[in-house]
Chain A
């Protein structure tokens, strides 16, 4: 190819890239750098920002006991949601991967909560969890539970309530990924395995699980990252309450930025969330060699 043609190709390429490049610079790359910069300032949006060095980070990490609680809540939420959701999703995928009557309809039903708006879902569950008239406590009463929890009004039960909703809503997403993974396992593997005595549970322990490990790896990362960013549920169901029992990292960022106008402080909290997600992803990739088998 002549040099002139190569130059023409490159010129076309940059024209094709121009719109995305512009949007990427304006709404992603520059904002990330700006967020980093803002996190070192004290800024209320109305007066000029003051450079504060590492003050925001020091305050958040060393002194802000509410932020510690917020971090704890988020970790509890993630630990409560991700493993339970993955186990359930895996079991359902395993069952749905058999020839079952109404298979397509069943798969679609398990997936419907995923496409539902979290705001609407949060409203529906707020009504279900309503401690006086909610259908859940009516049901619990029917099966003999004497003092059902006050759920969203209880600082002890509000977070578990959010976790239940999150498991319900996200289940279908992981399930679909597991199903896709299961369908990628060749038939012959099981036939060969059966000859070696891999039947019943052993079949899944020694064949399905190892062969599915790339899927499991991917589902783990995606669910962890998604769960750390919980906001809509906390905003609509509890406004972070009662007594900050459901205040999470993103809710805290929102509160500080758009209710208290502490842009620097909120940005620093957002950067800490970024760091947590980055570290988790890196750890996962490092551990990957130990338990993920690619063919």
Chain B
């Protein structure tokens, strides 16, 4: 289950694959589907460099003869785009690091340490998975407002520094580590903190990577929370900035597509660089042992 995207097919018995024609049909079908999946992105790229006159041409053209790469410079003047990107980067990065630390600490306690009330507490954490985030939205907003944290990084980061999902995922990973490894360290006189930091964490690096990429992408794309907790344009995140672009410059489609390209490309890069870890997070998060 570790590399769903890359593992060659092993399930179909060899004899079923003998028909070359069938294989070509399957390939063409999948290719057509993949083109359909890509088409909106291609259209986004194409529009982002079109001169104004060509945007509304009918029938539409895919490739412009006069590409306007200046759109990419222009967007930094229309909204504080550099700042928005930096904000998204700071928030996503900080949330990811904090969540890895906070969740792995909790997960280690749940997986390895004995204490009164452990199972009940873990069940409480797990049951939080069922709560839609919109339920806590209003009280959390009121809390942030009363703390005077509107338009602050704390508001954007702290509510996401913990997740039940992350704790569950990492607990599963810790459970697979053989007990002997940490017992040996304990006998040598290591404290629980040393065991956790030096023995356990390095051994679950793949799970940490999976959760890390997963969290980063989710935060980068997060929208509703930054929408309600930021009022100053320079404290917004990229997604919020993009959505305001739509309201103010309703007809400037080239600029909207430029913004979309700039919002999507970094996350494509993150995903393609770590897609195996990411997929591992998705598939192991839901299934537990299967």
Contact = CB atoms under 8 A, between A and B. Distances in A.
Interface in B104-160: 105-106, 108-109, 113-116, 118, 121, 124-125, 128, 130-143, 158-159
Contact of B243 (A99, A116, A235): A235
A243 to B, nearest CB: 19
Contacts of A194: 13
Interface range on chain A: under 10, 10 to 19, 20 to 34, or 35 or more? 35 or more
Given A16-B192, A95-B26, A179 B217 contact: no
Interface range on chain B: under 10, 10 to 19, 20 to 34, or 35 or more? 35 or more
A3 interface: no
B271 A257 contact: no
Interface string B200-231: 00000000000000000100110110011000
Interface stretch (A27-35, A53-61, A78-86): A27-35
Contacts of A120: 239, 242, 259-260, 263-264
A110 B36 CA distance: 9
Contact of A111 (B5, B142, B242, B256): B5
Contacts of B184: none
A135 B37 contact: no
A194 B13 CA distance: 10
B190 to A, nearest CB: 12
A129 B287 CA distance: 37
A52 to B, nearest CB: 15
Given A177-B283, A253-B134, A99 B224 contact: no
Contact of A273 (B132, B141, B246, B287): B132
Interface stretch (B51-59, B63-71, B75-83): B51-59
A30 B12 contact: no
Interface in B5-41: 5-13, 17, 23, 26-27, 29-31, 33-34, 37-38, 40-41
Contact of A103 (B9, B33, B118, B159): B9
Nearest to B17: A99
Interface of A: 6, 9-10, 12-14, 16-17, 19-21, 23-24, 26-32, 34-35, 38, 45, 92, 95-104, 106-113, 115-121, 123-128, 130, 132-133, 135, 138, 141-142, 168, 171-173, 176-177, 179-180, 182-185, 187, 190-191, 194, 214-215, 218, 222, 225, 228-229, 231-232, 235-236, 250, 253-254, 257-258, 263, 266-267, 270-271, 273-274, 277-278, 281
30 contacts: A13-B113, A13-B114, A17-B106, A19-B162, A20-B102, A21-B106, A26-B143, A107-B6, A110-B34, A111-B275, A112-B41, A113-B40, A115-B268, A116-B267, A119-B221, A123-B257, A123-B259, A124-B43, A125-B40, A128-B40, A180-B1, A180-B283, A185-B11, A187-B11, A218-B286, A222-B286, A229-B134, A235-B227, A253-B137, A258-B228
Given A135-B43, A190-B13, 7 more contacts: A9-B114, A16-B113, A126-B246, A127-B257, A179-B5, A225-B132, A270-B135
